[in-house]
Amino acid sequence: MRQNYRDSLYQYRSSSKILVLLLLFFCILTQAQVETKESEVGLGWSNNSVNTVIFRNSALTTFKNQQFTAYYNPDGKMVLAKRKLNSNDWETQITPYSGNVKDAHNCISIAIDIEGYLHVSWDHHDTHLRYARSKKPLGLELGEEQAMTGENELKVTYPEFHNLPSGKLLFCYRSGASGRGNMVMKSYDVKTQKWTSLQNNLLDGENQRSAYWQICVSQKGIYLSWVWRESWDVSTNHDICYAFSADGGKTWQKSTGEKYTLPITKATAEIAWHIPQNSNLINQTAMTVDEKGNPYIASYWNTNEIPQYKVVYLNNGKWNLIDTNFQKNSFTLGGGGTKRIPISRPEILVNQSMLYLLFRSEERGNKITLAAANLDKKEWKLEDITNYSVGQWEPNLDAALWKQKAQLHIFSQNVTQTDGEGLSVMKPQPVKVLELKKLPVIK
């Protein structure tokens, strides 16, 4: 009898220890999860990824305490929306303008100038410039379509706005076609409300190739990185190149301080990281800078024939590489058009000692995932910040809010994408904004 009692007591204590350990594990797991808040803007077109391609720059932006976004609705009409920060109530405006939503290149790019006017450009894939500005500050009603300067505005692709420290707006796009395009850059003066040509051919493909770039802006200047593509075929992407401008885009230099003779060509470009063709190198990803002004460029290409996210960064005048091993399965990039790819292109953020990558992967159920690493240790921790699939979504975040308050707000929609420019049939899905309450910090 006494032995049975001892056995029962031992089993109880053992079970209690296991229960305590499980509870501790659960608590640790719960603390590790990223807390998010979600607000719904409206229903959007979902039959391809036109609302969520990474090169929108930007899908979401904040001016003072007002946050703005834009998307195509299920009828292909361009919708503008705004809200006060911390509010779930979005004010929406269906504009009179539509886009060819059947082509995922034809995304919408927005910006707010320092006077509060909304600038919008949309519906481009080797087509004439489409651009309009709000009729009043913080307003959602757009004026008539207009030209900017009238120069190099007939074959526009990949339009994007950037706010400069001077208060001016920067507008960049490719003039020409895939494999034989040049980079055009224009500047907007809020005092005169006029656009001027800044660079008509900053990155010269010499009618043989195109540059696919990403830009970030800090108080120190404009940071530009790109890959060259030798034809329309994505498999011909190669090399990550770099340039910097300290004077608003007028003159450009290498990381060494050596001045570029413009335009920049394949022969004169600084190669930050050499990557040969047929390496599954993706184009048009993201870049950022740290507090010291060091640039960080995120992309992916092969490690042992498996495409892996990587970060190329400058430190003490030397280019370095941070690798990852997130992916287990291989895939091959090839051909033209918008690709259906198992992983999204990555977004990148740096905050003091922390490095973050935002992406989605089929291997993780196409959820939105945040990878975090301490820059000293470079050991990655991955957390899914949605418990549902976002399909072929790619990351777009509120860069203005991140700069102002280090708060991460993400434009989100569950979308599909057929390889090339084909369409899938998908019920319209809600456009959402996800707010991360607190980013993980790894000591």
Residue 190 has pLDDT above 60, yes or no: yes
| Other CB atoms within 10 A of residue 157 CB | 19
Which alpha helices (H) appear in 330-396, and where do they start and end?
none
The conformational region for residue 360 under phi > 0 = left, psi -120 to 50 = alpha, else beta, is beta
| pTM assigned to the model | 0.91
> Would the pLDDT of 349 be above 80?
yes
Residue 172 in tokens: 């960049």
Bridge partners (DSSP) listed for residue 273: 240
Query: Distance between CA atoms of 314 and 322, rounded to whole angstroms?
Result: 11
What integer pLDDT is reported at residue 35 of this predicted model? 86
| Opening angle at CA 288, ends 346 and 239, nearest 5 | 65
Predicted pLDDT of residue 176: 83
Position 11 scores a pLDDT of 53
Residue 29 pLDDT more than 90? no
Grade residue 33 by pLDDT with cuts at 50, 70 and 90.
low
pLDDT of residue 78: 98
Q: Burial code of 225-244, b = ≥16 C-beta within 10 A, e = fewer?
A: bbbbbbbebbbbbbbbbbbb
* Alpha carbons 289 and 88: distance in angstroms, whole number: 31
Residue-wise pLDDT for 293-339, tens only, equals 999 999 999 999 999 999 999 999 999 999 999 999 999 999 888 88
Domains belonging to the chain, first-starting first, are 37-436 (2.120.10.10)
**What type of residue sits at position 80?**
L
Nearest to 120 by CA among 65, 59, 163, 73: 59
Mean pLDDT of 248-264: 98
Distance, in Å, from the CA atom of 53 to the CA atom of 173, rounded to the nearest integer, reads 15
Quick one: what percent of the chain has pLDDT higher than 70?
A: 92
Average pLDDT over the chain reads 92
At residue 70 the predicted structure's pLDDT band, cuts being 50, 70 and 90, is: very high
Q: Which pLDDT score, from 0 to 100, does residue 407 have?
A: 95
The partner residues of 229 in beta bridges, in order of sequence, read 210, 237
The pair phi, psi for residue 56, each rounded to 5°, is -60, -50
Q: What Cα–Cα distance (Å) separates residue 398 from each residue in 103, 184, 409?
A: 24, 24, 6
Task: State the average pLDDT over residues 82-90.
Answer: 96
Mean of the pLDDT values across residues 356-382? 96
Q: pLDDT band at residue 424, thresholds of 50, 70 and 90?
A: confident
Interval 155-161 mean pLDDT: 96
Which pLDDT belongs to residue 420?
75
Above pLDDT 90, what percent of the chain?
A: 85
Section 66-72 average pLDDT: 98
Average pLDDT over residues 397-425: 92
Long-range contacts formed by 184-191: CB under 8 A, 24+ apart: 184/152, 185/249, 186/148, 186/149, 187/248, 187/249, 188/113, 188/119, 188/148, 190/113, 190/114, 190/115, 190/117
Contacts 24+ apart (CB under 8 A), 263-268: 263/182, 263/199, 263/201, 263/202, 263/203, 263/204, 264/202, 264/203, 264/204, 265/204, 265/206, 266/206, 266/209, 266/228
Structure confidence by residue, pLDDT tens digits, 194-244: 999 999 999 998 989 999 999 999 999 999 999 999 999 999 999 999 999
Residues 203/213, Cβ–Cβ less than 8 Å = yes
